[in-house]
């Protein structure tokens, strides 16, 4: 069976095509495109025309990739935070369906958390329980606590790299007052979070902020997911890199090794979120390249 999974977040859209013969699973294609679908959604409540155009162009590219592989038997397109918030999402639905032949699903916060945990747990088979998976996206951050394959609690919080950058960290670089305001907002959401962050033995981080920080910390001249997967970020490293991103200009951040040019504008906000969570949990973070996209694909194969 050949399946295709597409994860469309606030900042990026990603494709994964897998093929299984009932035993071995082969990865046929994996792509990431920065589209910034959530541009302005936090302020206006609507998708910007330019953001839709970028997203539709990526969908056309992915349709071509799938066609070149000979098609898929199942295709699932899951949209997350930005699509939950936009009033004009029917334009988005219609444009995606026209290009890919499948109607997007808007994942609830709970579903997003479940898929993130499923993908991450598969990527860290030797984790010591209890496990906390954090998925910092563009519009939201998912916190999921579990043991083994069982989820004990999960919550999606309205704090993401795009949302914080646009709402609080408006200057380049952000001012101290803006950083303090953003930090207070993040901590207010963490204070009210019903996921217990105490006693965590394994902290797993997925998605762009975490994987980019790992690539930068490792000094990789070009991002290599094989080297990033299972790397470890301790609390001092997270503090150091987050502080550097928050006090640097976008151009300075863009020049860092393995930094995606289009992620440089928002990565300071993602680093702030990661820093505040790290302070509360108090253990080093294991980086996983297996995340919500892998969870979506696994749901299709199952």
Q: How far apart are CA 204 and CA 130, in angstroms?
A: 11
Instruction: Note the pLDDT of residue 148.
Output: 81
User: Quick one: 183 exposed, middle or buried, by C-beta within 10 A (0-12, 13-18, 19+)?
Assistant: middle
Percent helix / strand / coil, the chain, rounded to 5: 45, 20, 35
pLDDT of 160 strictly over 70: yes
Running DSSP on this structure, what letter comes out for residue 32? E
For the chain, give every domain's residue range.
Answer: 2-106, 125-292
Q: What is the per-residue DSSP string for 122-141?
A: HH-TTPPSSEEEEEE-SS-E
Name the CATH superfamily, with its identifier, for domain 2-106: ATPase, nucleotide binding domain (3.30.420.40)
Q: What angle, 0 to 180 degrees and rounded to 10, lies between the N-to-C axes of helices 267-281 and 235-246?
A: 150
Tokens coding 153: 């609690």
- Can you read off the two tokens belonging to residue 205? 């981080």
Q: What is the pLDDT of residue 82?
A: 65
More confident residue, 270 or 119: 270
Question: Token digits for 219?
Answer: 């000094």
Q: Which range scores top for mean pLDDT: 134-138, 156-160, 204-208, 238-242? A: 238-242
131 strand-pairing partners:
146, 202
Q: Which of 105-109, 166-170, 250-254 has the lowest mean pLDDT?
A: 105-109
If you search the block for the tokens 């299984």, which residue do you land on? 20
- Specify the CATH number of the domain 125-292: 3.30.420.150
pLDDT in tens, 32-49: 998 988 888 777 888 899
- pLDDT value at position 42? 75
Query: Per residue in 100-114, pLDDT tens?
Result: 999 998 887 777 778
Structure tokens at 242: 């987050």
CB 182 within 8 A of CB 168: yes
2-106 and 125-292, same CATH topology = yes
Which residue from 233, 51, 218, 64 is spatially nearest to 136, judged by alpha carbons?
233
How far apart are alpha carbons 33 and 15 in whole angstroms?
9
* Residue of 244 and 139 predicted with greater confidence: 244
Q: Which residues pair with 205 in a beta bridge?
A: 134, 287
All residues at 6 or more sequence positions from 23 whose CB lies less than 8 Å from its CB, including other chains:
none
- Render pLDDT for 211-240 as a digit per residue (tens, 0 to 9): 999 999 999 988 888 899 899 999 999 999
Residue 84 pLDDT exceeds 80? no
């Amino acid at each position: 069976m050949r399946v295709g999974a597409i994860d469309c977040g606030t900042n990026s859209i990603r494709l994964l095509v897998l093929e299984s013969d009932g035993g071995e699973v082969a990865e046929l294609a994996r792509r990431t495109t920065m589209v910034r679908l959530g541009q302005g959604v936090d302020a206006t409540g609507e998708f910007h025309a330019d953001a839709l155009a970028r997203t539709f162009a990526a969908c056309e590219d992915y349709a071509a990739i799938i066609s070149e592989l000979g098609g898929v038997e199942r295709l699932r397109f899951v949209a997350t935070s930005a699509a939950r918030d936009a009033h004009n999402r029917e334009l988005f639905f219609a444009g995606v369906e026209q290009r890919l032949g499948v109607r997007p699903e808007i994942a609830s916060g709970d579903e997003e958390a479940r898929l993130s945990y499923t993908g991450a747990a598969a990527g860290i088979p030797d984790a010591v329980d209890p496990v906390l998976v954090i998925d910092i996206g563009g519009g939201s951050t998912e916190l999921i606590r579990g043991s083994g394959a069982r989820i004990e609690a999960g919550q999606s919080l309205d704090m993401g790299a795009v949302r914080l950058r646009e709402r609080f960290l408006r200057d380049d670089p952000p001012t101290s007052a803006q950083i303090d305001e953003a930090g207070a907002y993040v901590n207010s959401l963490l204070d009210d979070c019903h996921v217990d962050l105490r006693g965590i033995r394994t902290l797993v981080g997925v998605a762009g902020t975490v994987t980019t920080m790992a690539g930068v910390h490792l000094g990789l001249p070009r991002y290599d997911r094989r080297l990033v997967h299972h790397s470890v970020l301790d609390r001092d490293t997270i503090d150091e890199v987050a502080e550097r991103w928050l006090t640097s200009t976008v151009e300075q951040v863009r020049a860092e090794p393995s930094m995606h040019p289009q992620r440089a504008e928002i990565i300071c906000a993602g680093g702030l979120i990661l820093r505040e969570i790290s302070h509360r949990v108090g253990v080093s973070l294991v980086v996983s390249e297996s995340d919500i996209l892998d969870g979506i694909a696994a749901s299709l194969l199952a």
